[in-house]
Amino acid sequence: MSPSSSTTGSIMGKLTRLLAAGACLLGMAATLLGMGTTLLGMGAAMNTSKTRTYAAEDSAFPNAQIGYAPMIDNPEAGDATLRYLELRWREVEPEEGVYAWEAIERKYGLAALREQGIHLVLRFVCDVPGNESHLDIPDWLYAQTGDGSWYDTKYGKGYSPDYANETFRAAHRRVLGALAAFFGTDGFVSYVELGSLGHWGEWHIKSGEGLAPMPDETVRDEYAAAYLAAFPTAKLLMRRPFRFAAEQHLGLYNDMTGHEKDTEEWLGWIENGGWYGSEPHALVPMPAFWQDAPVGGEFTSSLSMRDLLERDLPRTLHLLEMSHMSFLGPKTAQAAYAKGYDAVLRRLGYRLRVTELKLTPCADGVSAALTVANEGAVPFYWDWTVNLYGEDAAGNTLYTVPLPLSLPELMPGESQTVSVVLEGAEIRQLCGGRKKSLFRSQTHLTLGIVDPMTGRDAVRFAMKGKQKNGRMVLL
């Protein structure tokens, strides 16, 4: 008995479905095999990457924009990258509108310091107590005002001007503008400590001994605003956390560094605000200001170097760590106390280190990924350019690639990983024309941070390895 047409159709349908399923399985198998091949290929490509890590360097050393800032004419300044320049108004403008720039240039050797890549901490002052009665403002200005106070106090002898005098204030604005024009905007002056007012420019007056007190907040803010207008590219620092400093995101400085009571009082102002003279709210809290603006200062004169750097070194280091300080001067540590000298220097400012470099060949060339850590006390406050360089065996620069690394945003204890692709002719020079020779090339990869004043790489990295011409050799 022959099968019916319906039965035959059913059988053929089943066969068709079976064949289709088989084909599908074969396709899936092929796809899986292809995926396996792809994965193997990816694995092989990944295996061509090279990762290098770098150990920390724990020694103390001077570095760009941080460390000791000895007086500009100190013969023992050594290799400090900063110099402290205190200028008295009398020295700057001996005659009204006539400025002694040539004499100042010669006296302090400013051109030579620029060429060496040394930067300045500047303070302009009107009253420095001394052993003899004297004027720190010009004679012509004294003749026009003359309403201040001659004094003989435990601070010393001198003349305290009437800072509220309008003639004095107008002349002060003019001289600040002239100072700023003389020094320029190339970054030579890195820090300006707002001086002018009070003994040593420290914004306090021995008013308890008959001298006129400091002017009120309105006048003080006018002086501060004049500095802000005159030095827009420098980092400005005030002696105390005044409201103006908080509103304008200025830095602070402590001229009693190392003195426990005075430094703790200064830190208390920063944390909680406080009184200034008869004003209960003149000082305002600025607890995290150091993340955006620097801290400076100098060692107290009330303690010996032996106390600061030997007997009470742990206390000194603790106060520094609490202060997040970038520079110390003009009274710095004495090198004779080597242990303390190095310990203090190591705690000033940032400490940058490349922790890892990963190089991976890719379609466009070679991908370079760098991880940079900050193991110091503060960020690097200047947005200087960070470059990756390719150099030949003789040290000639073959190419330069800027890195998208934001130094001011790199906080202590943090790291940033950035990547760039080295392309075209540049990478062919690096690789000798063959990717397989990438890690056996005679070309070196180096890293540098460029000082815009000199156009030279100027930052030392706190990591073990070779550093030459201001650059860190990575590979």
Task: Give the containing element (helix H, strand E) for 134.
Answer: none
pLDDT at 321: 97
Amino acid residing at 241: P
Percentage of the residues of the chain whose pLDDT score is greater than 70? 86
* pTM of the predicted model over 0.95: no
Supply the pLDDT for residue 408.
Answer: 98
Extended strands (E) in 161-271: 189-193, 235-238, 251-257
Largest CA distance in the chain: 140
pLDDT in tens, 235-293: 999 999 999 999 999 999 999 999 999 999 999 999 999 999 999 999 999 999 999 99
Res 424 pLDDT > 80: no
Q: Is the pLDDT of residue 378 over 80?
A: yes
Measured between alpha carbons, how far is 230 from 194 in angstroms, rounded to an integer?
Answer: 11
Using CA atoms, how far apart are residues 28 and 236, in angstroms rounded to an integer?
69
Q: How far is the C-alpha of 196 from the C-alpha of 94, rounded, in Å?
A: 17
First to last CA, the chain: 87
d(CA 215, CA 284): 18
Which pLDDT score, from 0 to 100, does residue 11 have?
35
336 contact partners, CB below 8 Å, separation of at least 6: 305
At residue 315 the predicted structure's pLDDT band, cuts being 50, 70 and 90, is very high
- DSSP letter, residue 440: G
CA 283 – CA 270 distance, rounded (Å): 8
Does residue 216 surpass a pLDDT of 50? yes
Per-residue model confidence (pLDDT) at position 441? 57
Residue 8 DSSP SS3:
helix
Q: Is 289 helix (H, G, I), strand (E, B) or coil?
A: helix
Residue 124 has pLDDT above 90, yes or no: yes
Helix axes 217-230, 166-183, angle to 10 degrees: 20
Hey, how many other C-beta atoms are within 10 angstroms of the C-beta on 356?
15
Give the list of residues 6+ apart from residue 405 with CB closer than 8 angstroms, or none: 370, 372, 386, 416, 418
The one-letter code for the residue type at 250 is L
pLDDT value of residue 442: 64
Reply yes or no on whether the pLDDT at 232 is more than 80: yes
Q: What is the pLDDT of residues 427-455, one digit of tens each?
A: 655 544 444 455 445 678 999 999 999 99
**pLDDT score at 24:** 36
CA dist., res. 128 & res. 136, Å (int): 7
Q: Is residue 193 a contact partner of residue 237, using CB atoms and an 8 Å limit?
A: yes
Mean pLDDT of the chain: 88
Q: Distance between CA 319 and CA 304 in Å, rounded?
A: 16
Instruction: Render the burial of 31-51: b for 16+ CB within 10 Å, e for the rest.
Output: eeeeeeeeeeeeeeeeeebee
Domain boundaries, the chain: 51-57+351-473, 67-346
Cα-based torsion angle of the residue sequence 83, 88, 89, 94 in order, rounded to the nearest 10 degrees: -100
Alpha helix (H) residue ranges in 375-458? 424-431
Q: What's the mean pLDDT in 70-74?
A: 97
Question: Which tens digits make up the pLDDT trace of 134-178?
Answer: 999 999 999 999 999 999 999 999 999 999 999 999 999 999 999
State the residue for tokens 């050797």. 109
> Where does 51-57+351-473 sit in CATH, by number?
2.60.40
Average pLDDT score over residue span 306-334: 98
Residue 363: the pLDDT is 78
The candidate with the shortest Cα–Cα distance to 434, out of 175, 48, 88, is 48
Q: Which of 65, 121, 66 is closest to 345 using CA atoms?
A: 66
Task: Tokens 């605000």: give the residue.
Answer: 273
| pLDDT score, position 208 | 79
What pLDDT is recorded for position 25? Answer: 33
CATH number for region 67-346: 3.20.20
In degrees rounded to 5, what are phi and psi of residue 340?
A: -65, -40
Kindly state the helix (H) or strand (E) to which residue 471 belongs, with its residue range: strand 471-473
In 3D, which of 60, 41, 5 has the Cα closest to residue 346?
Answer: 60
Residue 14 neighbours by CB distance under 10 Å:
10
What CA–CA distances, in Å, run from 350 to 66, 149, 373? 8, 43, 10
Q: How far apart are CA 258 and CA 255, in angstroms?
A: 9
360 CB-near residues (< 8 Å, 6+ apart): 46, 48, 49, 50, 366, 367, 369
- The pLDDT score that the predictor gives to residue 14 is 39
Question: What is the gyration radius of the CA atoms in the chain, in angstroms?
Answer: 32
> How far, in Å, CA of 390 to CA of 422, rounded?
10
In the predicted model, is pLDDT for residue 345 greater than 60? yes
Predicted local distance difference test score (pLDDT) of residue 148: 95
Is the pLDDT assigned to residue 20 strictly greater than 50? no
Q: What is the pLDDT of residue 427?
A: 63
| Predicted pLDDT of residue 443 | 74
pLDDT value at 44 more than 80 = no
